[in-house]
Structure 1
Amino acid sequence: MFGGQAEAGVTFERPGPAGTVPAGLERFYGQQLGWGACDTYATSDSDRKIFASSPDLKCARLTVPMDYSKPDGKTTTLGLLRRKATDSGQRVGTLFVNPGGPGASGVDAAASLASAVAGNDLGKRFDLVGFDPRGIGSSEPAVHCLTDAERDKQRADDIEDTSAAGVAKEAAQFRDYASKCAQRSGSDLLANIGTRDVAKDLDVMRSALGDKKVTYLGYSYGTFLGTTYAEQFPANVRALVLDGAVDPNQSPADEQVAQSAGFQKAFDQFATWCAQRQDCALGRDASKAVQAYHDLVIPLIKNPVDTGDGRKLTFGDATTATVQALYTQQLWETLNSGLVQLKRGLGTTLMTMADLYDGRDTDGKYSNEQDAFTAIQCVDNPQSKDQAAELDAERRSTEAAPFLDNGQPLPTSSPGDSCSYWPVPSTSQPHLPKVSGLPPTLVISTTNDPATPYQAGVNLAGALGGFLLTYQSTQHTAFLQGSDCVDHVGVNYLVNLKLPAADPRCSS
């Protein structure tokens, strides 16, 4: 145990070290963990509600080096949440889960998945463990760039001006953001927050929890973390399910364009669904939906509308809300309602969805997910200094997703982004993974996934020599989300290490 005192209701365990332990890291790999109530790990209203209603969920803190090249130096702690296997006699081990982002809370994700695994062999035979990666959620220290008031102001000051003055203003905003991240988070954390280091943390976690090998479920960006772990520790992998794959060899610019095309495809699917309804905000002709959508949201650039809480819905907030809704068909009804409401000059519903995406609670407090997303992206990818390439990526993205076009002319210069002014260097770069000795993996890719397009899953499965499960649907990720076909393949693989003879296909 790394300091601290015993607390009432806390159970201390030291099942590790287990498996391979790198020299010099023994005290981390064999550390004692204290499991207790999760209330102090909550970072949102939803967390607090789930933790209060689920006494079987327990939390602990894992200590890891801030900088693995200096294991005797500064440390950071990660928040962990565990739901224990209900059949201890048949227990296989720990199922580690990461929900992606990057920047999303694994503590929150595991709590949300607890009910999904309760009725199958995953819940019976695995401890389900979610973790907040370094700098995220309940982990300490946390990435912090903007105050709640500054975040609200940034959203209200929606820059859609592509003139030279507008580009300069946006560049100044990016520069200021990067400066505040460095001041408020510290350069040590920013320099060591990348996926390279989180993969090392996962191996410490594996050992400290008593697992000789990792069984891992990663969604979205979590597929990149799983791939990075496999590259660093291939002999420590038992099983990997990678759902909603990030293409590890794709440049940020190409990823942006592919994602734009994915969201356009989802928007078109939404428009077709909506056109069948009498109350469709975009009209009954799906072929005219993009123009109808523009007629609703582009006026917000000059005339944002009231939301009922003293704020104004901007064009940026409206498009953020739309993107949020396109992640899952379950939000299409809400999106249509929000657009119908916008026709009446009120932005309450769309602002609520934009708040969901941006991590803003009803009390006006933000999670640090967006700050962490930027910090991780900036060190996971080399900084771009090529203005021509940046402008070309913006042009290609606009062509790929016309519904997101703000109607302004393309700028003649690029403001870059926050990463263009980032205070620390990148620690990795896109590349095709080369892993030898890796056991069979399962990659799940959804045909109309807006955020991580289908082809990325095809590419990742090929690079890892893994199996590809194709899910025919329009949503982001699929496992443990209601498809019996997907769940049957995934659960059988995780529990029994069995995969079909040929790449399976499922449909919604």
Structure 2
Amino acid sequence: MRRSVASALVAVLALAASTLAACSADEPPAPVTEQRGPRGAVPVGLERYYGQPLTWEDCAPYARTDADRQTLRAPGLRCARLTVPLDYTAPGGDTITLGLSRKPATDDGNRIGSLVINPGGPGVSGLSTAARLSGVGGLNRLFDFVGFDPRGTGSSEPVVRCLTDAERDAERADDDELDTSPQGVAKAEADQRDYATKCAERTGKGAAMLANIGTRDVARDVDVLRSALGDEKLTYLGYSYGTRIGSTYAEAFPGNVRAMVLDGAVDPTQDAVAELVAQATGFQSAFTDFVAWCVQRQDCALGRDATRALRSFHALVRPLAERPIETGDGRRLSYSDATTGVTQALYSEQLWELLNTGLNELKQNRSHTLMALADAYLERDKSGRYTTTQDAFVAVRCVDDTRVTDRAAVLEAQQRYKQAAPFLDDGKPASDALDACAFWPVPTTSTPHLPSVEGLPPVLVISTTGDPATPYEAGVALAKALGGRLLTYEATQHTAFLQGVRCVDDAGSAYLTELRLPQEGVRCSA
């Protein structure tokens, strides 16, 4: 999944910092309705959306997880709903709503405007991310920090919903996708076809919602949000997949951009296969860095010899395909869950300690830490409830990316994936089974391409050399495509801005506040 490291870490660390910052359970202030729009250019037929009032109220009803319930209690934070067309080609037809959060600028006299934030995914909720980041780096003095849940996600209505909690648990426990026999491929495809059907049946507004869930439409929603917030121009911070929202907005509305920080970039020209292989290469590099760190420790679960670490890792995880470990709560740690947990931990060096603990537990036939990491990645809480992030991720991917329906191309892609990420090689032949997108009930709405951004002001792209999820080269490509400035951060993690790296934070903040870009070729290190 493309996601910000902030969301990955928070899921594991249970939002300890946000909990400490939470306010007491005083009676919330009364709702306040404001009309600040329309501002800037308003497309014909969309006047009522661009000029709509927003009613800011207590955020409690917008929370969808226990973590959200803590973070959205932050002092001064308020939430609202933005109404947008379901289908922008029929603005007089059906509508949907987006959940918003706002932490007003603390220095109203010097306020610059709104900083609209998206944490990635696709499918990750933005409300809590904006609330959390408002306490970092001092930018909230000059900007309202505004988070939004893109259409179909989080507190927006309706949400994309495909599987029940029980069905998701069953899917995770089932390693049948490792069966590459003709019967196994047939079953895997039947499951994927069933998944696509359930998405259309269980999502509010059905196939019409799925047809309009993509980044093309999210970018148009962001422009409605800009105007309703009362901003002539958009100031935007996008992490990971949020950079695709940013680049799509930049192409659709180049003249409406004031400033953009795009961190952990998605290459707009890569197709789904190229992106999959590049991401596999990135995670393999992060795994290699983890091994180099681990073998220096007496308690390294993979031993003290880096040249044998991959073999040791396979010896630990591959047997789970045939003999999953009971977790004690009625679930089992499957091969899929174990590798998901490992992948989660590779998003940041701060999670390597947990990864080593989880692998050492595996030696003792215990599963607690790796299952917790997998639960964090898949957003399952302790009561067994899932967010809808995974469903939204698939839905957006299926309309954003070119679909692969040629079995030979699927087989080649799987072979390249195993070669690019040996640590994720399950030891079985590659499969040519089609995924859910091959059976998706609506057409694609985007294709990978070089964006045309004439009239776009300079933007700032931040790329991390050891980023596993959105490899460094994608940031280089995005900066070139948008004619922007590239800032390089030398580390092994996913995304960097407003995460305590002074060099990165200072450069990004100076750009957002003063529109002053860092010098060409600047590199930061931890």
Q: TM-score scaled by structure 2? A: 0.93
CA drift at 1:501: 3.3
Q: Deviations over 1:183-205 (max 9, x none)?
A: 11101110000000000000000
Contact 1:256 1:397 in 2 (8 A): yes
Q: Does 1:149 align with 2:169?
A: no
Counterpart position of 1:180: 198
CA distance in 2, matches of 1:332, 1:8: 42
2:354 is equivalent to residue 337 of structure 1: no
Q: Could you tell me which residue of structure 2 aligns to residue 192 of structure 1? A: 212
For 2:195 and 2:29, the matched residues in 1 are separated by 42
Q: Find the aligned partners of 1:420 and 1:409 in 2 and give their Cα distance.
A: 21
CA distance in 1, matches of 2:466, 2:299: 25
- Which segment is superposed worse, 380-389 or 356-365? 380-389
Q: 2:34 aligns with which of 4, 7, 13?
A: 13
Match of 2:428 among 408, 425, 429: 408
Please name the residue that 2:252 is paired with. 232
Q: Is the 8 A contact 1:308 1:348 kept in 2?
A: no
CA contact (8 A) 2:267 2:477 kept: yes
Matched, 1:439 2:460: no
Give 1:164 shift: 1.3
Asked whether the 8 Å contact 1:444–1:470 carries over to 2, the reply is yes
**Matched residue type, 1:337:** T
Aligned to 1:468: 486
> Distance in 2 between the 1:25 and 1:410 partners?
49
Which residue of structure 1 aligns with residue 472 of structure 2?
454
Query: What's the offset of the Cα at 1:8?
Result: 7.0
Q: Give the match for residue 308 of structure 1.
A: 328
Q: Which whole-Å deviations, capped at 9, do the CAs of 1:421-467 have from their partners, x for residues lacking one?
A: 00000001000112101101100000010000000111111111110
Normalising by structure 1, what TM-score?
0.96
Alignment of 1:242-321 (within 5 A): 242-321=262-341
Moved over 2 A (4+): none
* Alignment correspondent of 2:397: 377
- Report 1:215-230 matches (<5 A): 215-230=235-250
User: Structure 1 residue aligned with 2:406, among 386, 409, 426?
Assistant: 386
Counterpart-to-counterpart distance in 2, 1:299 and 1:335: 18
SS of the equivalent of 2:377 reads helix
Aligned-partner SS, 1:116: coil
Counterpart of 1:22, as a letter, is P
**Cα distance between partner residues in 1 of 2:121 and 2:309:** 29
Counterpart AA for 2:41? T
User: 1:363-418 CA distances to partner (integer Å, 9 max, x unpaired)?
Assistant: 1100000000000000001222221111111101100100000011223xx21111
Higher mean displacement: 337-346 or 383-392:
383-392
1:77 aligned partner:
97
- Partners in 2 of 1:250 and 1:9 — Cα distance? 48
- Equivalents in 2 of 1:447, 1:498: separation in Å? 23
Q: AA paired with 1:50?
A: T
Which one of the candidate residues 183, 192, 198 is aligned to 1:165?
183
Q: Once the two structures are aligned, what percentage of the paired residues are identical?
A: 61
Distance 1:194 1:344 in 2: 44
Name the amino acid aligned to 1:372. Answer: A
1:100 and 2:120 matched:
yes
Say if 1:327 and 1:451, in contact at 8 Å, map to a contact too.
yes
Distance in structure 2 (CA, Å) of the matches to 1:428 and 1:43: 29
Residue in structure 2 matched with residue 137 of structure 1 by the alignment: 154
Q: In the aligned structure 1, how far is the partner of 2:43 from the partner of 2:521?
A: 36
1:122-164 CA-partner distances (Å, limit 9, x unpaired) = 1100000010000000000000000001111111112211111
Structure 2 residue 25 is the aligned partner of structure 1 residue 37 = no
* Among 472, 479, 482, the residue aligned to 2:500: 482
Q: Match of 1:126, as an amino acid?
A: F
The answer (yes or no) to whether the contact 2:511–2:518 under 8 Å persists in 1 is no
Aligned-pair Cα RMSD in Å: 1.0
Tell whether the 8 Å contact from 1:94 to 1:129 is kept in structure 2 after alignment.
yes
What do the CA deviations read for 1:184-231 (whole angstroms, capped 9, x no partner)? 110111000000000000000000000000000000010010000000
Distance between the aligned counterparts of 1:74 and 1:291, measured in 2? Answer: 55
Query: 2-side partners of 1:72 and 1:92: how far apart?
Result: 33
Q: Equivalents in 2 of 1:465, 1:338: separation in Å?
A: 43
Contact 1:82 1:127 in 2 (8 A): yes
Q: How many residues align?
A: 496
